[in-house]
């Protein structure tokens, strides 16, 4: 084995330019493949980043405006959800699929003041289950609890960004706001908790008990939105069928045409996630195909170089066979050269590709674009796992072996007398 590697090294070192050009083609192919996969992962992570902020098997419902005349009503009528919709959603009719139901009041703009600091915020009345559905992370204190709802307490849960602004210029820390009173809109509220805010509008949202919000701003039956979790709907088709049935029932309660798609709006987070996963799979497949086509150019280069090498060394192979070398020895030598080139330069390309992905993560991956209600990263974590990189490199080595197989077979079949006559 040692002698074999010495022969390979001798052959490659005697043909430096040819070896370097072939190696460049191989390294470039694996480098581009890993960069493409990394960029694709970063793009999908950017799109799917916000999906981690809520329970995926959940829906959010809110009223719209009718686009069709129905039951004596003209088109253009605004539909407002009410407490009857909550009863329908949590009732026996949909108990086979719906689990947690959480109404949310209509939001109100509220100038929030603490000491000499003030900031514009949004006041929303929620139920305790709202935290679970939207995966709200509490940094300090607690979220709204059942006693807050029952006793109509004036408690509030504020975002970390909001808390930071309210204590700015004071000796207080964010967590020192727990138990303090802040003025928000038409009321004064005791801060019960501080949640981890994101860069979206939720960062300036203040949550108070649903019942308290209703008592202050909206004593009637109307609510703003309705959120609930569900189970047993595993495909896009099942989700669409459920949405049609459920939406039709809610529209019926409001005397709206069951086929009027703008009367009630349903945001199905699970269905959205399924579609995004499907899109991610398509994108990944496309990038793999594009990358593999790039690899093919490198493999073709290896095969061509091996063919040239075989032709140039025909005389050498004739001498080898004349002194007793078996065809399998010639075969092994050529294939070993091919595998050495693809493995060595493929490994270099893999390292360079992973390094490029890390550079993308530290540069482009840190840039965010303001889209009005939030900031999104252009590429979020545009990297490739080591397992994927190794799989791609292994695939390249296998392809390199196959590329050297045809030239090796040709070399092993050379007849000594013909080879010795070759120039």
3-state class of 225 per DSSP? strand
Please state the rounded mean pLDDT for residues 380-399: 78
Please report the pLDDT score of residue 71 as a whole number.
Answer: 87
Higher pLDDT, 44 or 124: 124
Please state the rounded mean pLDDT for residues 278-304: 75
Residue 418 confidence (pLDDT) above 50 = yes
Q: What percent of the chain has pLDDT over 90?
A: 32
Higher pLDDT, 349 or 126: 126
Asked if residues 193 and 185 have their Cβ atoms less than 8 Å apart, the reply is no
DSSP code string of 369-419? EE-SS-EEESSSS----HHHHHHHHHHHHHHHHHHHHHHHHHHHT--HHHH
Residue 150 confidence (pLDDT) above 90 = yes
Contacts of 304 (CB under 8 A, 6+ apart): none
**Domain residue limits, the chain:** 2-51+274-421, 58-270
Residue 386 confidence (pLDDT) above 90 = no
Please state the rounded mean pLDDT for residues 284-313: 72
Residue 201 confidence (pLDDT) above 60 = no
- How far out from the chain centre does Cα 389 lie? 19
Q: How far apart are CA 387 and CA 37, in angstroms?
A: 13
Please report the pLDDT score of residue 338 as a whole number.
Answer: 75
Please report the pLDDT score of residue 378 as a whole number.
Answer: 67
Please report the pLDDT score of residue 68 as a whole number.
Answer: 92
Global pTM value: 0.65
Please state the rounded mean pLDDT for residues 336-360: 84
Please report the pLDDT score of residue 48 as a whole number.
Answer: 61
Please report the pLDDT score of residue 373 as a whole number.
Answer: 43
pLDDT category at 142 given cuts 50, 70, 90 is: very high
Q: How far apart are CA 89 and CA 91, in angstroms?
A: 6
Please state the rounded mean pLDDT for residues 255-282: 85
Residue closest to 413 by CA, chosen among 340, 335, 314:
314
Asked if residues 400 and 26 have their Cβ atoms less than 8 Å apart, the reply is yes
Asked if residues 143 and 193 have their Cβ atoms less than 8 Å apart, the reply is yes
3-state class of 181 per DSSP? strand
How do strand 138-141 and strand 181-184 relate by DSSP bridges? unpaired
pLDDT category at 298 given cuts 50, 70, 90 is: low
Residue 275 confidence (pLDDT) above 60 = yes
Please state the rounded mean pLDDT for residues 76-102: 92
Please report the pLDDT score of residue 123 as a whole number.
Answer: 92
Over the chain, what is the mean pLDDT? 82
Please report the pLDDT score of residue 255 as a whole number.
Answer: 93
Please state the rounded mean pLDDT for residues 92-109: 91
Please report the pLDDT score of residue 416 as a whole number.
Answer: 64
Residue 49 confidence (pLDDT) above 70 = no
Please state the rounded mean pLDDT for residues 116-143: 91
Residue 420 confidence (pLDDT) above 60 = no
324 by Cβ neighbours in 10 Å (0-12 / 13-18 / 19+) ranks as exposed
Please state the rounded mean pLDDT for residues 361-373: 64
Any bridge partners for residue 108, and if so which?
A: 123
pLDDT digits (tens, 9 = 90+) for 232-249: 888 888 999 999 999 999
Please state the rounded mean pLDDT for residues 349-369: 81
DSSP H helical ranges for 146-268: 146-151, 160-166, 210-217, 236-253
Contacts of 264 (CB under 8 A, 6+ apart): 61, 62, 63, 64, 79, 247, 250, 251, 254, 256
pLDDT category at 372 given cuts 50, 70, 90 is: very low
- The CA-atom distances, in angstroms, between 338 and each of 97, 121, 360, 407 are 59, 66, 32, 10
127 by Cβ neighbours in 10 Å (0-12 / 13-18 / 19+) ranks as buried
Please report the pLDDT score of residue 248 as a whole number.
Answer: 93
Which pair of structure tokens corresponds to residue 97? 């699929």
Residue 331 confidence (pLDDT) above 80 = no
Q: How far apart are CA 337 and CA 296, in angstroms?
A: 18
Please report the pLDDT score of residue 55 as a whole number.
Answer: 62
Angle between helices 269-312 and 386-412 in degrees, nearest 10:
30
pLDDT category at 212 given cuts 50, 70, 90 is: very high
Q: How far apart are CA 81 and CA 173, in angstroms?
A: 40
Please report the pLDDT score of residue 333 as a whole number.
Answer: 75
Please report the pLDDT score of residue 399 as a whole number.
Answer: 75
Please report the pLDDT score of residue 260 as a whole number.
Answer: 93
Please report the pLDDT score of residue 103 as a whole number.
Answer: 93
């Amino acid at each position: 084995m040692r002698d074999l590697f010495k022969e390979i090294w001798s052959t490659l070192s005697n043909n430096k330019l040819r070896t370097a050009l072939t190696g460049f083609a191989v390294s470039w192919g694996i480098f581009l493949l890993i960069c493409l996969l990394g960029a694709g992962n970063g793009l999908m992570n950017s799109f799917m980043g916000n999906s981690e902020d809520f329970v995926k098997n959940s829906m959010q419902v809110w009223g719209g405006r009718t686009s069709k005349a129905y039951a004596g009503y003209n088109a253009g009528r605004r539909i407002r959800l009410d407490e009857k919709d909550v009863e329908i959603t949590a009732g026996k009719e949909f108990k086979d699929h719906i689990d947690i139901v959480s109404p949310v009041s209509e939001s109100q703009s509220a100038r929030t003041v603490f000491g000499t600091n003030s900031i514009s915020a949004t006041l929303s009345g929620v139920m305790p289950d709202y935290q679970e559905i939207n995966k709200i992370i509490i940094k300090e204190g607690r979220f709204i609890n059942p006693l807050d709802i029952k006793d109509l307490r004036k408690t509030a849960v504020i975002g970390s960004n909001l808390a930071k602004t309210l204590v700015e210029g004071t000796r207080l820390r964010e967590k020192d706001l727990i138990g303090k009173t802040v003025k928000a809109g038409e009321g004064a509220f005791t801060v019960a908790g501080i949640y981890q805010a994101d860069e979206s509008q939720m960062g300036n949202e203040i949550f108070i008990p649903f019942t308290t919000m209703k008592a202050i701003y909206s004593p009637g039956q109307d609510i703003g939105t309705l959120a609930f979790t569900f189970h047993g709907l595993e495909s896009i088709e099942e989700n669409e069928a459920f949405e049609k049935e459920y939406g039709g029932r809610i529209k019926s309660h409001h005397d709206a045409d069951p086929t009027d798609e703008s009367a009630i709006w349903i945001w199905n987070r699970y269905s959205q996630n399924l579609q995004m996963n499907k899109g991610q799979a398509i994108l990944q497949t496309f990038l793999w195909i594009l990358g593999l086509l790039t690899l093919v150019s490198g493999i073709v280069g290896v095969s061509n170089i091996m063919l040239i090498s075989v032709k140039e060394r025909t005389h050498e192979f004739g001498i080898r066979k004349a002194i007793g070398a078996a065809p399998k020895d010639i075969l092994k030598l050529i294939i070993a050269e091919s595998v050495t080139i693809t493995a060595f330069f493929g490994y270099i390309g893999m390292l360079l590709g992973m390094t490029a992905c890390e550079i993308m993560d530290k540069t482009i991956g840190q840039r965010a674009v303001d889209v009005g209600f939030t900031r999104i990263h252009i590429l979020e974590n545009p990297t490739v796992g080591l397992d994927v990189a190794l799989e791609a490199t292994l695939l390249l080595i296998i392809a390199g072996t196959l590329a050297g197989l045809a030239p090796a077979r040709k070399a092993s079949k050379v007849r000594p007398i013909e080879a010795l006559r070759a120039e």
